Amino acid sequence: MIFFRPNPTQTTITMIRLLSSLQALAAPLSSGISRGLSARRSRRPVFANVADGTHAGAITVTANAAFTSKYLLAKADSTPGEVDVCGAGDVPVGVATDEAAVGDILALKLLAVGAQTTRMVASAAIAADALLYTAANGQVQTEPGTAGTYYLVGRSLTAATGAGDRLEVESCLPVRLTVAAVLRTDTVAHLAADVSAALVTPGLVKILTS
């Protein structure tokens, strides 16, 4: 039987070569992992913005008029992205959640959007469970008894004891209400003209009798 004595020098050289080969293989792998982690980190903001362009029940706008109280109704201004205080005959778009001076940035809670109720400001005493309509100065009122155009905005969940009180409201999409003056009944032509005027725009109609 023949035995071979290993050469220590040759063994050392072989180990060095083996280690060098392993390092050469590991370098690209390590570099690839680093690039992958870096790319993954760089993609995070993209995934965070998948809902870009949508809003969770409120939007940010600019006040084009002074909002002197919280929870006033707002209407769209002629300039996109700006709002004014809603009047009794204006179409409301939402509720201003804070006070604001002209030019201030304002959070606007949209009507009938979101899982939460909202607050509004009463123009007079209002009972709970009453239908609410637009009033002057961004406030709300019960069913109007004066001829004009108004908008239904929701139902009161709490009561208000007087003007300026805040009440909790289940809001709805604005529905136009036309309150027509007492119809003329002296002639059929006058009666038909008054009825046609009241019904010219789809929505709710209330005709005063006296």
* Residue 187: predicted pLDDT: 85
Identify whether 40 is part of a domain: no
Identify whether 39 is part of a domain: no
Residue 71 CB partners (closer than 8 Å, separation 6+): 95, 96, 97, 118, 119, 120, 121, 166
Count of structural domains, the chain: 1
For tokens 């804070």, what's the residue?
98
Identify whether 192 is part of a domain: yes
Q: What is the spatial distance between Cα 174 and Cα 87, in angstroms, rounded to a whole number?
A: 13
* Residue 184: predicted pLDDT: 79
Burial class (CB in 10 A: 0-12, 13-18, 19+), 153: buried
Burial class (CB in 10 A: 0-12, 13-18, 19+), 52: exposed
154: left (phi over 0), alpha (psi -120 to 50) or beta: left
**Domain CATH code at residue 119:** 2.40.300
* Residue 20: predicted pLDDT: 63
Q: Which residues of the chain have pLDDT under 70?
A: 1-53, 198, 200-202, 210
Q: What is the spatial distance between Cα 169 and Cα 48, in angstroms, rounded to a whole number?
A: 33
Identify whether 22 is part of a domain: no
Identify whether 141 is part of a domain: yes
Identify whether 28 is part of a domain: no
Identify whether 30 is part of a domain: no
Q: Which two three-digit tokens encode residue 64?
A: 């084009």
Q: In terms of Cα–Cα distance, which of 39, 26, 96 is closest to 65?
A: 96
* Residue 122: predicted pLDDT: 98
Identify whether 78 is part of a domain: yes
Residue 108 CB partners (closer than 8 Å, separation 6+): 58, 59, 60, 61, 74, 83, 93, 94, 95, 96, 97
Q: With contact defined as beta carbons under 8 Å apart, do 185 and 210 qualify?
A: no
Determine the structural domain holding residue 147 and report its residue range: 58-207
Residue 144 CB partners (closer than 8 Å, separation 6+): 88, 133, 150, 177, 179, 206
Strand partners, 151: 176
Strand partners, 34: none
